Chains A and B, each alone.
Chain A
């Protein structure tokens, strides 16, 4: 009788432990996916950082202006895939890349400021 109670208890503990571990794994996978789906480009000292960003399809890239000067984020292609308004200090602009390809962009106020997003 005691033995069967012990085995039942052990089995319950194992099932519970596996459940907890499974939930942990799920949450870590979810946070990894979240990390992958949003990336940040910092604008500071008249440059984009990182200059070249490689992301998977479906990623949302957020540009944040940490400079004292207003900047814009405008894609170089003729169709202007994305174009932000003028971003003052600490303002953000986001764009979700739904197609693979290379997306060069620049700041229309300071054309020397360029960057690139590679979507794979």
Chain B
């Protein structure tokens, strides 16, 4: 592989998708935690912290989705996926959409300068955390973090 080849930069040894994925996962879960705490403690500061975590998490999903799809198209030549790979792709897309939906709910409330965030966001956030965790678990399984070396 050529060291300046784009495919090499993206995938050789340190696959970028595997590295980048940790940012939206961590930011989203912490953002949801802050949001639940803000709801419980009625603190604006925590709600603001939750918003900015969710904003950066939503932005961070973009390179993750791009590198994931590029890995599929380049490394596996876009072949029809099945099994764990297909499940990871579907759940990854669902996770990205849910992260963006949660951020959008928060953003719309702030833009409208409404005092209270809608209550229905909390179950959406809880479901999103579960799907993100499952997607990450599948990704870890695929990347072989439990394998030798």
Contact = CB atoms under 8 A, between A and B. Distances in A.
A111 B83 CA distance: 20
A85 B142 contact: no
Contacts of B85: 70, 86
Interface of B: 11-13, 15, 75-76, 79, 81-85, 141-144, 147-149
Contacts of B81: 86
Interface string A49-92: 00000000000000000000110100000000000011010000
Interface of A: 45-47, 69-70, 72, 85-86, 88, 108-112
Task: Identify whether the interface residues of B are mostly helix, strand, loop, or mixed.
Answer: loop
A112 B13 contact: yes
Contacts of B13: 111-112
Task: Identify whether the interface residues of A are mostly helix, strand, loop, or mixed.
Answer: loop
Given A85-B79, A109-B76, A112-B144, 9 more contacts: A69-B84, A69-B142, A70-B83, A70-B84, A72-B76, A86-B79, A86-B82, A111-B11, A111-B12
Contacts of A85: 79
Contact of B144 (A72, A86, A88, A110): A110
Contact of A70 (B12, B15, B142, B149): B142
Contact of A88 (B15, B83, B147, B148): B83
Nearest to B12: A111
B45 to A, nearest CB: 44
